[in-house]
């Protein structure tokens, strides 16, 4: 799957017209989010609430801390407005479901145990970061006060949250036996769908990389330093919350990732003056490939070192 992403980046950079139809790309994202939700909900149906309290609290803490670190680093490294820094913070405070799925897949292929309820943590992490980031820009002239309601509505009722939360609820109510009925579609075909989606994202990465020419090396620094800091925080809090090495790795990857589904929709409504080239280039063209290639193995090593 990661090789498919790398191949797509390489051939697109050489000038290939490789791309998936937009309708197929949208369908794949819907499928992946729902499949992740089903898996998490099924696992939740077999867990006691008391066993996941600390992981839930650690996830909420990450949702508050990660946008703040992204905001501070962006303001220190780059000469950008508070609105643009807040927009970046919203993306890094939220989470990339595809990066999450890739980390789960790597753990599964390596035979490493990951707690089954981690998709619930993914859904929980989507919202707090966006709220904190919008708060950072709330006192700006023409800022978020007018757009708050619409932005929060978009964040909560947007496609990613609805599909994740809906899948979690369905999986939790149905339980493992009844969910077996849809396993041929939502379990057996998952890796193939993820491969196609990563192929399409490889093309998108190259198309958004033009922003690097505008913002230069400072944006590259932000796009790599922020995930390193946030990912380290994620692994640390997850380890203290009692998650396994695999679970702490996945939480670290979630904390390190940057959203390019939920956050852009909310930011477009609440912060219309923010520059989309800035936050989309950082999230999609820098942080996403960085986490796929460097972040997953790095945070796995880190989680193992902390556990040892």
* Average pLDDT rounded to a whole number, residues 22-48: 86
- pLDDT (0 to 100) of residue 250: 97
- pLDDT (0 to 100) of residue 168: 87
Instruction: Count up the domains in the chain and report the number.
Output: 1
- Ramachandran bin of 175, using left for φ above 0, alpha for ψ from -120 to 50, beta for the remaining angles: left
Of residues 225 and 15, more confidence is placed in 225
Ranked by mean pLDDT, the top range of 40-44, 202-206, 294-298 is: 294-298
Domain coverage including residue 255: 21-307
Measured at the CA of 100, the angle between CA 103 and CA 144, to 5 degrees, comes to 150
Give percent of the chain with pLDDT exceeding 70. Answer: 93
CATH number at residue 249: 1.20.1530.20
What is the band of 149 on the pLDDT scale with cuts at 50, 70, 90?
A: low
The predicted-structure confidence for 58-94, as pLDDT tens digits, reads as follows: 999 999 999 999 999 999 999 888 889 988 998 999 8
d(CA 206, CA 284): 9
Token pair 């797509």 is found at 8
What is the band of 110 on the pLDDT scale with cuts at 50, 70, 90?
A: very high
User: Residue 263 is inside which H or E element, if any?
Assistant: helix 262-270
**Is 40's pLDDT higher than 70?**
yes
Burial label, 188 (beta-carbon count in 10 A; 0-12, 13-18, 19+) = exposed
Q: Are 55 and 121 in contact (CB under 8 A)?
A: yes
Evaluate whether residue 3 is within a structural domain.
no
Tokens representing 267 are 């930011």
Evaluate whether residue 131 is within a structural domain.
yes
């Amino acid at each position: 799957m990661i090789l498919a992403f790398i191949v797509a980046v390489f051939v697109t950079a050489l000038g290939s017209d490789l791309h998936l139809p937009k309708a197929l790309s949208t369908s794949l994202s819907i499928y992946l989010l729902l499949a992740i939700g089903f898996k998490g909900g099924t696992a939740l149906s077999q867990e006691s609430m008391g066993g996941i309290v600390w992981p839930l609290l650690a996830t909420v803490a990450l949702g508050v801390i990660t946008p703040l670190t992204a905001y501070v680093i962006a303001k220190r490294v780059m000469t950008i407005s508070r609105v643009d820094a807040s927009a970046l913070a919203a993306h890094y405070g939220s989470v990339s479901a595809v990066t999450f799925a890739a980390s789960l897949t790597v753990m599964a292929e390596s035979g490493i145990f990951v707690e089954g309820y981690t998709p619930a943590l993914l859904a929980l992490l989507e919202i707090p970061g966006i709220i904190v980031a919008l708060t950072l820009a709330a006192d700006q002239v023409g800022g978020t006060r007018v757009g708050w309601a619409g932005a929060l509505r978009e964040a909560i009722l947007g496609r990613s949250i609805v599909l994740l939360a809906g899948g979690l609820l369905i999986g939790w109510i149905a339980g493992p036996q009844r969910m077996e009925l849809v396993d041929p579609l939502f379990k057996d075909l998952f890796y193939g769908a993820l491969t196609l989606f990563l192929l399409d994202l490889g093309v998108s990465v190259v198309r958004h990389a033009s922003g690097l020419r505008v913002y230069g090396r400072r944006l590259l620094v932000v796009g790599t330093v922020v995930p390193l800091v946030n990912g380290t925080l994620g692994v640390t809090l997850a380890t203290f919350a009692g998650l396994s090495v695999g679970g702490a790795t996945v939480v670290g990857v979630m904390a390190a990732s940057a959203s390019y589904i939920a956050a852009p929709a909310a930011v477009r409504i609440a912060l219309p003056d923010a520059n989309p080239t800035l936050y989309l280039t950082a999230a999609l063209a820098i942080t996403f490939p960085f986490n796929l290639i460097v972040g997953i193995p790095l945070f796995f090593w880190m989680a193992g070192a902390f556990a040892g």
